[in-house]
Protein backbone atom coordinates (compact mmCIF):
# COMPACT_ATOMS: atom_id res chain seq x y z
CA UNK A 1 0.00 0.00 0.00
CA UNK A 2 3.04 2.28 -0.18
CA UNK A 3 1.69 3.95 -3.30
CA UNK A 4 -1.31 5.29 -1.47
CA UNK A 5 -1.22 8.85 -0.32
CA UNK A 6 1.15 10.18 -2.96
CA UNK A 7 -0.30 13.58 -2.04
CA UNK A 8 -0.87 12.89 1.63
CA UNK A 9 0.91 16.00 2.85
CA UNK A 10 -1.32 18.82 3.96
CA UNK A 11 -1.57 21.25 1.07
CA UNK A 12 -1.44 24.82 2.28
CA UNK A 13 -3.00 27.38 -0.01
CA UNK A 14 -1.16 30.64 0.14
CA UNK A 15 -3.05 33.84 0.53
CA UNK A 16 -6.52 33.80 -0.91
CA UNK A 17 -7.83 36.56 -3.10
CA UNK A 18 -10.12 37.49 -0.28
CA UNK A 19 -11.81 40.39 -1.98
CA UNK A 20 -13.34 38.14 -4.58
CA UNK A 21 -15.93 37.41 -1.94
CA UNK A 22 -18.94 39.67 -1.86
CA UNK A 23 -18.65 43.16 -0.41
CA UNK A 24 -22.36 43.03 0.35
CA UNK A 25 -24.76 40.51 1.85
CA UNK A 26 -25.44 38.82 -1.49
CA UNK A 27 -24.07 35.27 -1.80
CA UNK A 28 -22.78 36.15 -5.25
CA UNK A 29 -19.08 36.88 -5.57
CA UNK A 30 -17.92 40.40 -6.26
CA UNK A 31 -16.94 39.43 -9.80
CA UNK A 32 -20.45 38.06 -10.36
CA UNK A 33 -21.86 41.32 -9.09
CA UNK A 34 -19.65 43.31 -11.45
CA UNK A 35 -20.50 41.17 -14.45
CA UNK A 36 -24.20 41.50 -13.70
CA UNK A 37 -24.09 45.31 -13.90
CA UNK A 38 -25.19 46.99 -17.10
CA UNK A 39 -23.19 49.90 -18.47
CA UNK A 40 -25.19 52.56 -16.68
CA UNK A 41 -25.03 50.73 -13.35
CA UNK A 42 -21.26 50.37 -13.63
CA UNK A 43 -20.95 54.14 -14.28
CA UNK A 44 -23.05 54.77 -11.17
CA UNK A 45 -20.72 52.50 -9.20
CA UNK A 46 -17.69 54.47 -10.40
CA UNK A 47 -19.40 57.76 -9.51
CA UNK A 48 -20.22 56.51 -6.02
CA UNK A 49 -16.60 55.42 -5.56
CA UNK A 50 -15.38 58.86 -6.66
CA UNK A 51 -17.68 60.47 -4.10
CA UNK A 52 -16.11 58.42 -1.32
CA UNK A 53 -18.45 55.46 -0.89
CA UNK A 54 -16.23 52.75 0.67
CA UNK A 55 -18.16 49.65 -0.55
CA UNK A 56 -18.19 51.09 -4.09
CA UNK A 57 -14.47 51.86 -3.85
CA UNK A 58 -13.82 48.29 -2.72
CA UNK A 59 -15.87 46.79 -5.54
CA UNK A 60 -14.16 49.03 -8.08
CA UNK A 61 -10.79 47.95 -6.68
CA UNK A 62 -11.81 44.34 -7.22
CA UNK A 63 -12.82 45.20 -10.79
CA UNK A 64 -9.31 46.48 -11.49
CA UNK A 65 -7.65 43.65 -9.54
CA UNK A 66 -9.54 40.97 -11.47
CA UNK A 67 -9.91 42.73 -14.81
CA UNK A 68 -13.71 42.53 -14.51
CA UNK A 69 -15.49 45.12 -16.69
CA UNK A 70 -12.22 47.08 -16.99
CA UNK A 71 -8.66 46.35 -18.04
CA UNK A 72 -6.71 44.83 -15.19
CA UNK A 73 -4.74 47.59 -13.45
CA UNK A 74 -3.09 46.64 -10.16
CA UNK A 75 -1.99 50.21 -9.40
CA UNK A 76 -5.57 51.44 -9.75
CA UNK A 77 -6.76 48.51 -7.61
CA UNK A 78 -4.32 49.44 -4.82
CA UNK A 79 -5.48 53.06 -5.03
CA UNK A 80 -9.16 52.15 -4.59
CA UNK A 81 -8.45 49.59 -1.88
CA UNK A 82 -6.36 52.11 0.03
CA UNK A 83 -9.09 54.74 -0.12
CA UNK A 84 -11.70 52.28 1.17
CA UNK A 85 -9.33 50.78 3.75
CA UNK A 86 -8.79 54.20 5.31
CA UNK A 87 -12.53 54.23 5.98
CA UNK A 88 -12.32 50.84 7.73
CA UNK A 89 -13.75 48.60 4.99
CA UNK A 90 -12.44 45.20 6.01
CA UNK A 91 -12.61 43.65 2.53
CA UNK A 92 -10.53 46.53 1.16
CA UNK A 93 -8.10 46.14 4.07
CA UNK A 94 -7.73 42.43 3.34
CA UNK A 95 -7.20 43.00 -0.38
CA UNK A 96 -4.69 45.77 0.26
CA UNK A 97 -2.77 43.32 2.43
CA UNK A 98 -2.92 40.77 -0.36
CA UNK A 99 -1.57 43.29 -2.87
CA UNK A 100 1.36 44.04 -0.55
CA UNK A 101 1.94 40.33 0.02
CA UNK A 102 2.28 39.57 -3.68
CA UNK A 103 3.73 42.91 -4.73
CA UNK A 104 0.87 43.67 -7.09
CA UNK A 105 0.48 47.36 -7.88
CA UNK A 106 2.93 48.25 -5.14
CA UNK A 107 6.29 47.14 -3.76
CA UNK A 108 6.13 43.78 -2.04
CA UNK A 109 6.09 44.21 1.73
CA UNK A 110 5.27 41.49 4.23
CA UNK A 111 5.16 44.00 7.13
CA UNK A 112 2.54 46.07 5.28
CA UNK A 113 0.60 42.93 4.40
CA UNK A 114 0.67 41.88 8.04
CA UNK A 115 -0.48 45.33 9.15
CA UNK A 116 -3.51 45.33 6.87
CA UNK A 117 -4.44 41.71 7.57
CA UNK A 118 -4.31 42.46 11.28
CA UNK A 119 -6.46 45.57 10.84
CA UNK A 120 -8.99 43.65 8.73
CA UNK A 121 -9.04 40.87 11.32
CA UNK A 122 -9.83 43.37 14.04
CA UNK A 123 -12.60 44.71 11.81
CA UNK A 124 -14.12 41.23 11.49
CA UNK A 125 -12.78 39.84 8.20
CA UNK A 126 -12.44 36.06 8.38
CA UNK A 127 -10.28 35.78 5.26
CA UNK A 128 -7.75 38.12 6.85
CA UNK A 129 -7.66 35.93 9.96
CA UNK A 130 -6.89 32.89 7.82
CA UNK A 131 -4.18 34.86 6.02
CA UNK A 132 -2.61 35.82 9.35
CA UNK A 133 -2.48 32.14 10.22
CA UNK A 134 -0.61 31.45 6.99
CA UNK A 135 1.88 34.24 7.64
CA UNK A 136 2.69 32.95 11.11
CA UNK A 137 2.81 29.31 10.00
CA UNK A 138 5.31 30.03 7.25
CA UNK A 139 7.16 32.98 8.75
CA UNK A 140 6.21 35.59 6.18
CA UNK A 141 7.39 38.90 7.66
CA UNK A 142 7.31 37.48 11.19
CA UNK A 143 9.19 34.72 13.02
CA UNK A 144 7.53 31.37 12.39
CA UNK A 145 5.10 30.81 15.25
CA UNK A 146 2.86 27.78 15.10
CA UNK A 147 0.99 28.70 18.28
CA UNK A 148 0.03 32.05 16.78
CA UNK A 149 -0.87 30.37 13.48
CA UNK A 150 -3.12 27.91 15.30
CA UNK A 151 -4.79 30.77 17.17
CA UNK A 152 -5.73 32.61 13.98
CA UNK A 153 -6.80 29.44 12.18
CA UNK A 154 -9.09 28.58 15.08
CA UNK A 155 -10.65 32.04 15.13
CA UNK A 156 -11.42 31.78 11.41
CA UNK A 157 -12.44 28.12 11.64
CA UNK A 158 -15.02 28.82 14.32
CA UNK A 159 -16.55 31.40 12.00
CA UNK A 160 -16.98 28.72 9.33
CA UNK A 161 -13.95 29.30 7.08
CA UNK A 162 -13.28 25.97 5.32
CA UNK A 163 -9.62 26.67 4.53
CA UNK A 164 -8.96 27.55 8.16
CA UNK A 165 -10.83 24.45 9.35
CA UNK A 166 -8.67 22.30 7.06
CA UNK A 167 -5.48 23.92 8.35
CA UNK A 168 -6.59 23.58 11.95
CA UNK A 169 -7.37 19.90 11.37
CA UNK A 170 -3.83 19.38 10.14
CA UNK A 171 -2.28 21.13 13.14
CA UNK A 172 -4.38 19.01 15.50
CA UNK A 173 -3.38 15.85 13.65
CA UNK A 174 0.37 16.48 13.77
CA UNK A 175 0.41 18.35 17.08
CA UNK A 176 1.98 21.52 15.73
CA UNK A 177 1.19 24.72 17.61
CA UNK A 178 -1.22 22.86 19.88
CA UNK A 179 -1.52 19.46 21.50
CA UNK A 180 -2.23 16.57 19.11
CA UNK A 181 -5.90 15.63 19.22
CA UNK A 182 -7.14 13.19 16.60
CA UNK A 183 -10.80 13.71 17.46
CA UNK A 184 -10.42 17.43 16.86
CA UNK A 185 -8.41 16.81 13.70
CA UNK A 186 -11.17 14.60 12.29
CA UNK A 187 -13.83 17.10 13.35
CA UNK A 188 -12.21 20.05 11.57
CA UNK A 189 -11.22 18.09 8.45
CA UNK A 190 -14.79 16.85 8.16
CA UNK A 191 -16.29 20.29 8.68
CA UNK A 192 -14.18 21.67 5.83
CA UNK A 193 -14.76 18.60 3.65
CA UNK A 194 -18.52 18.82 4.07
CA UNK A 195 -18.33 22.38 2.79
CA UNK A 196 -16.91 20.95 -0.42
CA UNK A 197 -13.23 21.88 -0.04
CA UNK A 198 -11.41 19.29 -2.15
CA UNK A 199 -8.12 19.63 -0.26
CA UNK A 200 -9.91 18.90 3.01
CA UNK A 201 -11.73 15.94 1.45
CA UNK A 202 -8.38 14.52 0.36
CA UNK A 203 -6.82 15.22 3.76
CA UNK A 204 -9.75 13.52 5.50
CA UNK A 205 -9.30 10.55 3.17
CA UNK A 206 -5.64 10.33 4.16
CA UNK A 207 -6.56 10.71 7.83
CA UNK A 208 -8.84 7.66 7.56
CA UNK A 209 -6.36 5.78 5.41
CA UNK A 210 -3.62 6.10 8.02
CA UNK A 211 -6.02 4.52 10.51
CA UNK A 212 -7.05 1.61 8.33
CA UNK A 213 -10.54 2.95 7.65
CA UNK A 214 -10.30 2.21 3.95
CA UNK A 215 -13.96 2.47 3.00
CA UNK A 216 -14.30 5.96 4.50
CA UNK A 217 -11.00 6.98 2.95
CA UNK A 218 -12.19 5.82 -0.46
CA UNK A 219 -15.43 7.81 -0.22
CA UNK A 220 -13.64 11.06 0.60
CA UNK A 221 -10.93 10.51 -2.01
CA UNK A 222 -13.67 9.96 -4.57
CA UNK A 223 -15.42 13.21 -3.64
CA UNK A 224 -12.16 15.14 -3.94
CA UNK A 225 -11.27 13.39 -7.21
CA UNK A 226 -14.61 14.36 -8.70
CA UNK A 227 -13.62 17.97 -8.08
CA UNK A 228 -10.34 17.54 -9.95
CA UNK A 229 -7.97 16.82 -7.04
CA UNK A 230 -5.29 14.75 -8.80
CA UNK A 231 -3.73 13.28 -5.64
CA UNK A 232 -7.12 12.00 -4.54
CA UNK A 233 -7.75 10.60 -8.02
CA UNK A 234 -4.52 8.62 -7.72
CA UNK A 235 -5.57 7.28 -4.33
CA UNK A 236 -8.97 6.19 -5.65
CA UNK A 237 -7.13 4.20 -8.31
CA UNK A 238 -4.79 2.58 -5.81
CA UNK A 239 -7.63 1.51 -3.52
CA UNK A 240 -9.55 0.16 -6.50
CA UNK A 241 -6.54 -1.97 -7.46
CA UNK A 242 -5.77 -3.17 -3.94
CA UNK A 243 -9.38 -4.05 -3.20
CA UNK A 244 -9.29 -3.18 0.49
CA UNK A 245 -12.81 -1.74 0.58
CA UNK A 246 -14.22 -3.03 -2.69
CA UNK A 247 -13.68 -5.78 -5.25
CA UNK A 248 -10.77 -5.23 -7.61
CA UNK A 249 -12.05 -2.72 -10.14
CA UNK A 250 -9.75 -2.19 -13.12
CA UNK A 251 -12.20 0.10 -14.91
CA UNK A 252 -12.41 2.48 -11.95
CA UNK A 253 -8.66 2.39 -11.43
CA UNK A 254 -7.99 3.10 -15.11
CA UNK A 255 -10.46 5.99 -15.14
CA UNK A 256 -8.86 7.77 -12.19
CA UNK A 257 -5.30 7.04 -13.26
CA UNK A 258 -6.18 8.78 -16.51
CA UNK A 259 -7.59 11.74 -14.59
CA UNK A 260 -4.56 12.00 -12.30
CA UNK A 261 -2.15 12.24 -15.27
CA UNK A 262 0.49 10.62 -13.03
CA UNK A 263 3.66 9.57 -14.84
CA UNK A 264 5.59 7.85 -12.04
CA UNK A 265 6.73 4.26 -12.56
CA UNK A 266 3.98 2.70 -10.44
CA UNK A 267 1.20 4.63 -12.20
CA UNK A 268 2.48 3.69 -15.64
CA UNK A 269 2.66 0.02 -14.68
CA UNK A 270 -0.77 0.14 -13.07
CA UNK A 271 -2.23 1.75 -16.18
CA UNK A 272 -0.77 -1.02 -18.33
CA UNK A 273 -2.22 -3.69 -16.03
CA UNK A 274 -5.65 -2.05 -16.20
CA UNK A 275 -5.52 -2.02 -19.98
CA UNK A 276 -4.75 -5.72 -19.99
CA UNK A 277 -7.99 -6.37 -18.11
CA UNK A 278 -10.16 -4.03 -20.16
CA UNK A 279 -11.43 -4.41 -23.69
CA UNK A 280 -9.53 -2.02 -25.97
CA UNK A 281 -12.58 0.04 -27.03
CA UNK A 282 -13.60 0.45 -23.40
CA UNK A 283 -10.11 1.64 -22.40
CA UNK A 284 -10.00 4.14 -25.27
CA UNK A 285 -13.45 5.46 -24.45
CA UNK A 286 -12.55 5.95 -20.79
CA UNK A 287 -9.27 7.67 -21.63
CA UNK A 288 -11.05 10.13 -23.89
CA UNK A 289 -13.71 10.81 -21.25
CA UNK A 290 -11.01 11.53 -18.67
CA UNK A 291 -9.60 14.33 -20.83
CA UNK A 292 -12.89 16.23 -20.86
The predicted pLDDT at position 130 comes to 96
63-96 residue pLDDT tens:
999 999 999 999 999 999 999 999 999 999 999 9
**In angstroms, rounded to a whole number, what is the distance separating the alpha carbons of residues 201 and 31?**
27
The predicted pLDDT at position 143 comes to 96
The predicted pLDDT at position 276 comes to 87
Query: Average pLDDT, stretch 1-21?
Result: 38
Cβ-proximal residues to 177 (8 Å cutoff; 6+ apart), any chain = 137, 145, 146, 147, 148, 149, 150, 171
Query: Average pLDDT, stretch 276-291?
Result: 62
- R_g of the chain computed on alpha carbons: 22
87-126 residue pLDDT tens:
999 999 999 999 999 999 999 999 999 999 999 999 999 9
CB distance 102 to 108 below 8 Å: yes
Residue 291: pLDDT band by 50, 70, 90 thresholds?
A: low
238-278 residue pLDDT tens:
999 887 777 888 888 888 888 888 788 888 888 888 888 88
**In angstroms, rounded to a whole number, what is the distance separating the alpha carbons of residues 163 and 134?**
10
The predicted pLDDT at position 185 comes to 97
**Does position 28 have pLDDT exceeding 70, yes or no?**
no
**In angstroms, rounded to a whole number, what is the distance separating the alpha carbons of residues 114 and 105?**
17
Q: How far apart are the first and last CA of the chain?
A: 29
- Mark out the alpha helices in the chain (DSSP H runs): 30-36, 39-50, 54-66, 74-85, 90-102, 110-122, 126-138, 146-157, 162-174, 182-194, 198-209, 214-225, 230-242, 250-260, 265-277, 280-290
What is the percent of the chain where pLDDT is above 90?
A: 69
Nearest to 42 by CA among 53, 34, 30, 32: 34
Q: Quote the pTM value.
A: 0.82
The predicted pLDDT at position 286 comes to 54
Amino acid sequence: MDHLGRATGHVVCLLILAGVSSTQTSPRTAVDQLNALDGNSFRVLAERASRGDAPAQTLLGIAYMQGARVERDDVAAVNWFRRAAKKGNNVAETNLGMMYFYGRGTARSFPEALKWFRKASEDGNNNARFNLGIMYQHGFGVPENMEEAAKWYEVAARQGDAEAQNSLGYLFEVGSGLRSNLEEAERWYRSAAEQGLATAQSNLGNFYLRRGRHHEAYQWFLRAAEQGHTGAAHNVAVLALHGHCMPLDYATAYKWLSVSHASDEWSLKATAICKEHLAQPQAQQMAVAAQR
